[in-house]
Structure 1
Amino acid sequence: MPRIGRVVLPNYPHHVVQRGHNRQVVFAADEDYRRYLADLRELKDAFGVKVYAYCLMTNHVHLLLAPGDSVAGLGQLMKALAARATRYRNRLEGRSGTLWESRYKSSVVQTDTYLLACSRYIELNPVRARMTSEAGDYPWSSYRERINTAGSNWLDVDPGFLALGQDPIERSARYEAFMKQATTADELRLIREALQRGQLTGNSRFVDEIAHITGIRIEQRGQGRPRTCREK
């Protein structure tokens, strides 16, 4: 079967991961994290990309991004972020060479069914890695900004989060409860495999929807519907 190139669609959310070259450390100090987030905040507007969630880990980043009408913006954003971080690290350490893997991984995400699940997956990364016991204790993810009832001054509000309630207090409370629900093994497997293989994070209806748009049928294995915030 021929390899399908990366699928990027306008105005759809995409789960994106970029790793350090040979899994090397890319964030060695707090200033490294701060600079990356400052660049993300600046460049997202320059390239017309919405940022719904993020988590910066020691040797990789998870981002939940939605390009606008121009799909090129997503790739341009990732390229610019990587270039800035590389220049900074090379200057700091008096070195040359690449900091990141040349190709980031991405998966188009089904908004109504999997967007919140992907946000939770991203923001729970430090907990799964045993770096912290609570998502709210980790300073380099979007979780604190997401549940801040005063809102964020730069993070975009995704449709899934907006649908959780009538006001910021209700939405924040529901999302906190959602974060505490146990994530099923099927949900974890689907998100991971979709990202690793460049497939879709969604159900069979989403596969049909994307096939209609692109003319390409991107099948995946192990599909299952995650619980929503309103399900017990």
Structure 2
Amino acid sequence: MPDLPASHRLRTGRYAEPNRIYLLTTNTLDREPIFANFALGRLVVHQFRRAQDLGLAKSLAWVVMPDHFHWLVELENCSLRKLMRQTKSLITREVNVSSSRGGPLWQQGYHDRALRREEDLVKLARYVVANPLRAGLVEKLGDYPLWDAIWV
């Protein structure tokens, strides 16, 4: 395989299947902790809800960390590429306007993992939303404001 940049290697073999469940992760540029600011983190949440309202993907669980997010979705009426491109673009626009900053917000690409049907979704959702605990940001999950899961 040719030596491709990481963002291109992430796309190798990527196939998006409607009604399939995916765990999506993306990082801010240079892992800058933009979303340590609660108001800016809420802009990410707004775009997750917008994607669901538009019927692009059903949000099953998510957490917005200071420098990345994890989003467990059931893909509906779009491709992974479209979902992530649109979501990241709209978050960037809103964050830049709200914080008077400019330029790119995200690292190129994203990581996706298609889940097998037999995987325990509730267990994976718990893993996703417990990210702030593992990172030492809070002592109790309820103390972290930027997460949700349909099972709680």
TM-score range, shorter chain: 0.7 to 0.9
Question: Letter of the aligned partner of 1:37 in structure 2?
Answer: V
Counterpart residue number, 1:117: 123
Residue 22 of structure 1 and its aligned partner are, at CA, apart by: 1.4
* Matching residue within 46, 49, 56 for 1:38: 46
CA separation in 1, counterparts of 2:64 and 2:126? 14
More strand by percentage = 2
Residue 31 of structure 1 and its aligned partner are, at CA, apart by: 1.2
Counterpart residue number, 2:26: 18
Residue 95 of structure 1 and its aligned partner are, at CA, apart by: 3.7
Assess if the C-alpha contact under 8 Å between 1:52 and 1:64 holds in 2. Answer: yes
Seen in structure 2, the aligned counterparts of structure 1 residues 136 and 57 have a Cα distance that, compared at 3 Å, is same
CA separation in 2, counterparts of 1:123 and 1:75? 24
Assess if the C-alpha contact under 8 Å between 1:54 and 1:63 holds in 2. Answer: yes
* Matching residue within 91, 94, 97 for 1:91: 97
Q: Percent identity?
A: 28
Residue 109 of structure 1 and its aligned partner are, at CA, apart by: 0.7
- Report the RMSD for the aligned CA atoms in angstroms: 2.1
Residue 126 of structure 1 and its aligned partner are, at CA, apart by: 0.6
More helix by percentage = 1
Any stretches of 5+ residues in structure 2 without a counterpart? 3-8
Alignment pair present for 1:64 and 2:72: yes
Question: What's the TM-score, normalizing by structure 2?
Answer: 0.82
Assess if the C-alpha contact under 8 Å between 1:9 and 1:71 holds in 2. Answer: no
Aligned residues: 144
* Matching residue within 68, 74, 77 for 2:83: 77
Seen in structure 2, the aligned counterparts of structure 1 residues 117 and 111 have a Cα distance that, compared at 3 Å, is farther
* Matching residue within 128, 134, 151 for 1:146: 151
Cα deviation per residue 1:114-141 (whole Å; 9 max; x = unaligned)?
3223212101101100111222222111
Assess if the C-alpha contact under 8 Å between 1:53 and 1:142 holds in 2. Answer: yes
Counterpart residue number, 2:6: none
Higher mean C-alpha displacement, 119-128 vs 129-138: 129-138
Counterpart residue number, 1:189: none
Q: For 2:23, what is the secondary structure of its paired residue?
A: strand
Counterpart residue number, 2:139: 133
Cα deviation per residue 1:176-228 (whole Å; 9 max; x = unaligned)?
xxxxxxxxxxxxxxxxxxxxxxxxxxxxxxxxxxxxxxxxxxxxxxxxxxxxx
Asked which structure has the greater CA Rg, the reply is: 1
Compare relative contact order (CA 8 Å, sep 6+) and give the higher one, 1 or 2. 2
CA separation in 1, counterparts of 2:116 and 2:83? 22
Counterpart residue number, 1:53: 61
Counterpart residue number, 1:164: none
Residue 47 of structure 1 and its aligned partner are, at CA, apart by: 4.4
Q: For 2:49, what is the secondary structure of its paired residue?
A: helix
Residue 63 of structure 1 and its aligned partner are, at CA, apart by: 0.3
Assess if the C-alpha contact under 8 Å between 1:47 and 1:76 holds in 2. Answer: no
Question: Letter of the aligned partner of 2:116 in structure 1?
Answer: Q
